Amino acid sequence: MISNHSEARPMRRPATLQFIAVLAAGLVLAACGKDQPAEQVATTAAPAATAPAPTPATAVSSQVAAMTADQLREAASKAYAENRLYAPGGDNAVEYYLALRDKTQADAAVASALTDLLPMTVIAIEQSVNRDDFSEANRLSALLEKADPQHPALARLKASIAAQQATAAQRAQALTAEEEAKRQKALEDQRLADQKKQQEDAAKKLATQQAASDKAADKAAADKAAADRAAADKAAADKVAAERRAAEQRTASAAAAAPSASDLRPISMPAPKFPPEALRAGQSGSVLVEYTVGTDGTVTAARVVRSNPARVFDREAVNAVRRWRFQPVASPVTTRREISFNPQG
């Protein structure tokens, strides 16, 4: 786990503070000897030390730059989740992602994260300028320039920082050292409050965007799943229909190729015996028999379909049909024949 850390960033003393330091030194010397020339006073007063302004090369702290790619990725995710998007210096998502980009230049996720974070950084620069926090404005400006040297807002922001610094220097000439210290304290408090609020708002906005993106992705996935199911159902239905058509075609082909009743050539068709009881009673009737002729021409099966009168002539009709013989056929043929019984015939 990467512990949160902040590099002790050198702070540039604003021009107003330098002016106040020189003025205070002059007042001290004037109190010691009013006759000392102004030139000597200016020479005697030690100039206020100022730290160099951050540049794109120094925008990322050395501690952050020294971290490994895995450490940077973990630290960036944590900073992002904790709303440390661009502040504090040395422990924020922008610095971690910039350092990670230097180590893994082809990482699309890093580029995407920086694209999301830069608009918030631009707003933070503008707010820092508005509250005369030029140290923070210059730090953020260096981060922005490192992230995108061709950013369309970069030149405007740099000009705004320079112009506002000049205005602040003129305004500070009328303030005492104590007033300037109070003003600087108020500026620092306001800077921290603004940073916290803006980063929280930015995090909410990013979360909303991500939720909308996830919702759109979920809908697209659901639509695709539904489309896939519909396609699968249609394919299954088409397959069943194709199999049914193929079966029907096979049946039709088989029926067309199979011999029919007209192809049967009888060799022997003995007449049925007349039942004695029916003959004595002078009964007549008929029986419809369904029978199947095998390939060798013999009757392999026979059954009564209907008879009139019922069951009087059934047995003799079936017995007679079973004795019939036909010429051999290519495949079995099933047909029907009505057999009449007439005592007068």
Share of the chain above pLDDT 70, in %: 83
Residue 191: its pLDDT value, please?
Answer: 87
**CATH 3.30.2420.10 boundaries in the chain:** 263-341
pLDDT (average), residues 64-81: 95
Highest mean pLDDT among 162-171, 184-193, 288-297: 288-297
Pick the range with the lowest mean pLDDT from 17-31, 119-133, 260-274: 17-31
What are residue 3's phi and psi, to 5 degrees?
A: -80, 145
Residue 12: its pLDDT value, please?
Answer: 35
Asked if residue 328 lies in contact with residue 297, where contact means CB atoms within 8 angstroms, the answer is yes
Euclidean distance between CA atoms 204 and 198, whole angstroms: 10
CATH of 263-341, one of 2.60.260.20, 2.60.40.10, 3.40.30.10, 3.30.2420.10: 3.30.2420.10
Q: Which residues of 62-85 are buried (b: 16+ CB within 10 A; e: fewer)?
A: eebbebeeebbbebbebbbeebbb
Pick the range with the lowest mean pLDDT from 139-143, 207-211, 305-309: 207-211
pLDDT (average), residues 218-225: 91
pLDDT band (50, 70, 90) for residue 339? very high
Q: Are strands 299-308 and 325-326 parallel, antiparallel or unpaired?
A: unpaired
Please give the mean pLDDT across all residues of the chain.
84
What are residue 297's phi and psi, to 5 degrees?
A: 95, -5
Residue 84: its pLDDT value, please?
Answer: 96
Euclidean distance between CA atoms 107 and 326, whole angstroms: 88
Question: What pTM was computed for the model?
Answer: 0.43
Residue 139: its pLDDT value, please?
Answer: 96
Residue 21: pLDDT above 60?
A: no
Residue 74: pLDDT above 80?
A: yes
pLDDT band (50, 70, 90) for residue 181? confident
Euclidean distance between CA atoms 228 and 225, whole angstroms: 5
Q: Tens digit of pLDDT for each residue in 304-317?
A: 999 999 999 999 99
Residue 255: its pLDDT value, please?
Answer: 62
Residue 14: pLDDT above 50?
A: no
Euclidean distance between CA atoms 159 and 126, whole angstroms: 11
